[in-house]
Structure 1
Amino acid sequence: EIVARAYQRYQQLLQRNDGLDFDDLLLVTVKGLQRDEELRRRYQARYKHLLVDEFQDTNMPQYELIQLLASTDGSLFVVGDEDQSIYGWRGADYRNVDRLRRAFPELHTLLLETNYRSTQMIVDAAKGIISHNLIRTPKNLRAAGGTGEPVVVREAYSRDDEAEFVVSEIERLVAAGEFRLGDFAVMYRMNAQSRAVEEAFLRHRLPYRLVGGVRFYQRREIKDVLSYLRLLVADGDWVSFERVVNAPSRGIGEVSLRTLRQAAGSLGLGPYEALCRLRDDHTWQHGLTKRAVVALVGFLEVWDRVRALAQSATVADLIDAVLISFEYSQHLGPDSAEAEERLQNIRELRAVAVDRYPVPGIESLASFLDGVALVAEVDQLEEGVEAPVLMTLHTAKGLEFPVVLIVGMQEGILPHSRAVERLNDNPSEGLRELEEERRLCYVGITRAMRRLYLLHSLSGGVYGQDSRNQPSRFLKDLPPEVLATADRRQRARASRQASALSTPVGRPGTAPEPAGDAVKEVRVPEYRVGETVVHARFGEGVVIEYKPTRNDADVTVAFANKGVKRLLASIAPLERK
């Protein structure tokens, strides 16, 4: 009942702000086409040819929309692959491929079976794994890039040893001149797995890029600028108005905003209409401080000027107006590295506007905002940064790298424990989830162009708890002929145990086996609890915990001005006082 009431209120707020969320964009369109035959025929006549890419990732409303638009005398062309459907958790349904075949029995299927990215060894590895899924279109994939190197499967003693091998192997291949640092991608099933890999990179003083942090269009300054721009095309948008009316600070308090909103809500007014009423009708000023009235009317004056400018200005000009006329540049703070970084982000947004939306006018601004709202989830991977990337398998979709190393290839991680447990509780649902996990593994493998490494660890759970791990069931499906020689011998010696598919990297009390150059010895300083230390960035603090790990130590320090921080002892810039 609470959810239903909240949803009803949510829909009311959307209507009041002339807004549709992403679900509504589909649902309202589908319902409109279903109800209105004339409207449906008009769009069927307008779009004689429909092309749908990534069809395996469509959900049911999207599938219904395609059916409604595909008229009987038109043509429909879809590109899709059930083997790459990995977004079931957000509504995608790969079974739409089969539904399409049944809905259009005359559909002609063309199999694209030549792989222009990967070597045959990598393609055969991917085929061996995905062929065990039941609901799919069989394909005989061939690689155009030659046979290539065998796939390397490695077993490490722990996740730290696994990460140590990853970084050592990257160093070895780069030192040999075979690859550059930017040619490598380290992939994992869950974000929590990045910890060990990141620490290994830090120990080796190697740069890396973590993909999946705060994305460009989610950064505060970008959302602020976009909110200002939305007010120029949707003056009834209370959400955008309340976000920016005090950015920079204009002395308009929460009480004043609430008073204005309540008065406007009783008459169904948007923020622009409310400010006009406030300016023209002095009775509206009751309950507001004089300072708030002056600030709100001043905001309206700037809004009016920039609105007039929007009719003939480019999007880039309007971004400049946000910085100058609305004085948003003041909100970025005093000269500092952080302020400069935020300004650079706004400059990057402006560059997008200059490049893609050079035509002046309000229509161009509306198109720009629509494009931003629908931007792809895989955010900008900055060009020219020479460093390996760390990312989840979901984030890797659509990308490619010369060398791919997938860590955590063990039961409970890939496949995820949720899918494994569901097999016992609900076999049909568990099988569906397990097949999606297999597809996720397939997607990760097929990101590799020249080299592929699949790694798993014998002990240690993803959150550091003690456990003995079983290799992923997907490793058993690899054809023997795609494995490196050592891996084949290991598999032959213990064919009934999945762990025999790999070569140990380390055991308790021994250093991990490097792939080439020996791992650099790192001196780990020791600290006493209660000892006073000074950090180059965080200032003075007191050690409250020191915990040795296999290759390093965690030191926890309570800093006077920065709170409690947990640091790696080998690399933390700490000095004893």
Structure 2
Amino acid sequence: MPVWNAIDFQQAQASQATAANDPARVVRLVAGPGTGKSFSIEQKVANLLQSGVTASSIYAVSYTRAAATDLKLRIEQFCNTSGLSITGGIRASTVHSLALRILRSAGILGAQYPVDPMVLDNWEVENIFDLEFNHITRFGKPRCAEIRSYWEAFWSTGNQSHPSYKPPASPITQQEQTQFTGFKNRRSNLYSCVLPGEIVQQVVQRAIAGTLNVQQVLNISHLIVDEFQDLNPMDLELMQILISAGVQLFASGDDDQSIYSFRYGSPEGIRNLPLQNQGVGQHMLGHCFRCTPSVLNPAVQLMATYSDPQRIPKTYISMYSNSAPSVLGSFHRWMFSTHRGEARAIADSCQNLINSGLNPKDILILISNKRIQLGVIEDELRQRNLNFDSPNNPGIQDTDEGRLIVALMRLICNNDDYISLRTIWGLRSGIGPTQTETLATWITNNQQNFKTIFFQNLPLTNLQQRTASSVQVLRGLVNTITGWAKTDTLGCRNADIIAILNTISGQAAVALWTSAVQGIDSNALLSEVRDFLWTESDEQKSQVLAAISDRLELEHTPNTLPDRIRIMTMHGSKGLSAKVVFIPGLEEQILPGPNRIVSPGLTQEAARLLYVAITRAKASCIVSLAQSRFVNGKRKTHAASQFTNALGGSFSTRSTALTSQEVNQIMSDISRL
């Protein structure tokens, strides 16, 4: 590792500390990639604790459940290392879960749901909610998703004609709206669940009406919001309500990394924060500890070219520019005649780098269009026997067995997790939407409750025999876990869990469980095992394992990332990094692509997406384009993306992979990171 330039390092630390120490009621921290935003957040919480603020008065928010868990773990590890005791831990969640907590504390949820509801994730929305809605209405799953999206746009923005909402060719009818609302209300009560977005709007509407004092019921004094640029308009309204109620806000993010307009996120949220509030403490982190200058500079030039007048001005410097020794890094711009030639060069380059000692997990290949780009890249990697993770490879939660395992762990840790109980029910062999609807109708007509049907030995009078038999099987599972606690250890319950999985699913689930928990200490709590399995990335799994090691006072295990090349979408790479990053497909037909090019705003967002992709790289970034591709079975001519003109150099015609000289230079740079 190089020695940082003393002046650069002092300036970077001073910027991080100044933001963390700012006592302003609202603080905005604009932090570019790799500039130490996490440290400022961690230090902010540590400062609050040292000043006498209780941990229960601090709440942290991030854009996904997994990101919130990661944020919580980072804060707690930093505070533990600093010798600060956090009784009960730091509370962290998504905005949706924060809104749920507000309604729960206000006593509002009890009138609508049998227990505190769970926010459905994407799989649950598609495989439970949409599936059952379609079974009842026979609209077809695509149409059911369109109807739901119509309402999600309204919940997220308060506007059913928001510019970011793309209505279907066939407008949503009043009858469809009515049927959706009725179904949602029934299923939300039956499974004690909510769809993403609807709860935030409920809080905002009640607060505006004066019937809900959010600060009083939430009982927090400080709110930490990470990735503020990802909040949608309704989320932003909630933030302003909390500020008006006296909650101090520390908002961190970067308008240049706002890439979720399809979720109604916008860079305007973080840009307008000082305009909506007086005396905002405004801070900027510009010293990049991740990217070498050859990687950072083209990314910065791209954003300078594709920005609008409202963009927050920034100045960045790579910490490697003046380090001892300095590390320049490399940025390659390649142009190929065909997509096959591009894929071969990428695969050969990966092979050459690995043969020179680079771990495969230190290579990222980032794509913008899976349908057009992924297949040929996977094919070339397979031909060279290179191991890789693909965005099409199912994670543990993307398989039926994995979903069953995670649902079981969730249910063990929280018997009131109705949606996990529904997941286990639906994933058993032979259970389909017809049996599920039969059970739902019987429960409703007999004034029963979805949980008590399984947790109590109630008579199943007049319930169809096949469905009743399935209920009895699941009752056996419930009887087994009754009395278990989330504080039980993995070693204590492992054999029992294996027996349960074998009974309700079979050997495939047992094998997956055994493989998934292989690296977890037997003294880990079941709640920690649940958190590990519930994560969305290998990096987050490493964080959970580190937290387990800290609690058990064990040495941290080495990084658990598998030794495989990672192929990901650009959106999926946010928050990650790698020593070498390949970005193929810089063509107008792919990035920005036909759906974005019609809108200046979406074109700017595509530029931000490329910026995010480039700044995942530490030592070297290789961007490339192909002049022709096979699309839908036909060869088509592709034009260079307009973004290629803003990357600070010319693209060279290429037919081969990284040369030995180029590989040696990259490996030399990596050795000095």
TM-score by structure 2 length?
Answer: 0.61
Q: Which amino acid aligns with 1:27?
A: Q
Structure 1 position 28 matched with structure 2 position 207 = no
Q: Note the residue ranges of structure 2 that are not aligned, 5 or more in a row.
A: 1-173, 322-326, 543-558, 662-673
Q: Does the aligned pair in 1 maintain the 2:335–2:624 contact within 8 Å?
A: yes
How much is the aligned-residue C-alpha RMSD, in angstroms? 3.7
Q: 2:590 aligns with which of 413, 427, 438?
A: 413
Aligned-partner SS, 1:109? strand
Letter of the 1:400 partner, please give it. Answer: S
Query: SS where residue 573 of structure 2 aligns?
Result: coil
- The change in CA–CA distance for 1:267 and 1:457 in structure 2 (over 3 A counts) is same
By how many angstroms is 1:375 displaced? 5.8
Larger radius of gyration: 1
Give distance in 1, aligned partners of 2:180 and 2:428. Answer: 32
Asked if 1:389 corresponds to 2:389, the answer is: no
Q: Give 2:345's aligned residue.
A: 165
Does 2:615 align with 1:435? Answer: no
- Corresponding position of 2:117: none
Q: Cα–Cα, structure 1 residues 39 and 176, in superposed 2: closer, same or farther, change >3 Å? A: same
User: Structure 2 counterpart of 1:502, which letter?
Assistant: F
User: CA, structure 1 residues 462+348, in 2 after alignment: closer, same or farther (shift >3 Å)?
Assistant: farther
Structure 1 position 144 matched with structure 2 position 319: yes
Change (3 A) 1:372 1:174: closer
- From 341, 351, 361, give the equivalent of 1:182: 361
> For residue 147 of structure 2, what is the aligned residue in structure 1?
none
Aligned letter for 1:22?
P
| Residue aligning to 2:284 | 111
Deviates more, 1:432-441 or 1:390-399: 390-399
Shift of 1:197: 1.1
1:469 equivalent in structure 2: 638
- The answer (yes or no) to whether the contact 1:332–1:342 under 8 Å persists in 2 is no
Looking at structure 1, the residues matched to 336 and 497 of structure 2 have their Cα atoms a distance apart, in angstroms, of 54
What is the match of residue 528 of structure 1? Answer: none
The residue number in structure 2 matching 1:91 is: 264
- 1:17 is aligned, of 178, 191, 209, to 191
Instruction: Please give the secondary structure, in 1, of the residue aligned with 2:311.
Output: coil
Hey, what does 1:488 align to over in structure 2?
A: none
Q: Quick one: percent identity of the two aligned structures?
A: 19
1:224 maps to 404
TM-superposed CA distance for 1:274, in Å, is 4.1
The code of the aligned residue for 1:431 comes to: P
Q: Do residues 516 (structure 1) and 659 (structure 2) align?
A: yes
Unpaired runs of 5+ in structure 1?
Answer: 359-364, 423-429, 481-500, 506-511, 519-577
The 3-state SS of whatever aligns with 2:637 is coil
Query: Partner residue of 1:571?
Result: none
Q: Report the AA paired with residue 242 of structure 2.
A: L
Structure 1 residue 188: Cα displacement: 1.1
Q: Give 1:445 shift.
A: 0.7
Amino acid at match of 2:382: L
For 1:108, the aligned partner's letter is: G
TM-superposed deviation, 1:175: 3.9
SS at match of 1:471: coil
1:48 corresponds to which residue? 221
Q: How far does residue 67 in structure 1 lie from its aligned partner after superposition?
A: 1.3
Report the CA distance between 1:180 and its aligned residue. 3.4
Task: Work out the CA distance in 2 between the residues paired with 1:219 and 1:383.
Answer: 21
Q: How does 1:394-543 map to 2 (within 5 A)?
A: 394-420=571-597, 422=598, 430-480=599-649, 501-505=650-654, 512-516=655-659
Shift of 1:464: 5.0
1:95–1:155 CA distance, 2 compared to 1 (3 A): same
Distance 1:138 1:28, change over 3 A: same
- The number of equivalent residue pairs is 462
Mapped contact 2:337–2:628 kept (Cα < 8 A): yes
Q: 1:10 to 1:465 in 2, by over 3 A?
A: same
Do residues 121 (structure 1) and 294 (structure 2) align?
A: yes
Higher deviation after alignment, 92-101 or 305-314:
305-314
AA aligned to 1:203 is Q
Go from structure 1 to structure 2 and tell me whether the alpha carbon gap of 1:169 and 1:242 turns closer, same or farther (over 3 Å shift).
closer
Alignment correspondent of 1:527:
none
Q: Deviations over 1:384-404 (max 9, x none)?
A: 532322111111111111111
Task: Identify if the C-alpha distance between structure 1 residues 348 and 137 changes in structure 2 by more than 3 Å, giving closer, same or farther.
Answer: farther
C-alpha separation in 2, matches of 1:345 and 1:275: 29
Q: Report the alpha carbon displacement of residue 340 of structure 1 after superposing the two structures with TM.
A: 5.6
Tell whether 2:514 aligns with 1:344.
yes
* SS class of match (1:399): coil
Q: Deviations over 1:4-45 (max 9, x none)?
A: 03321123211232222222342333334444556324147x
User: Relative to 1, partners in 2 of residues 1:56 and 1:127: Cα closer, same or farther, differing over 3 Å?
Assistant: same
Inter-partner Cα distance in structure 1 for 2:341 and 2:226: 41
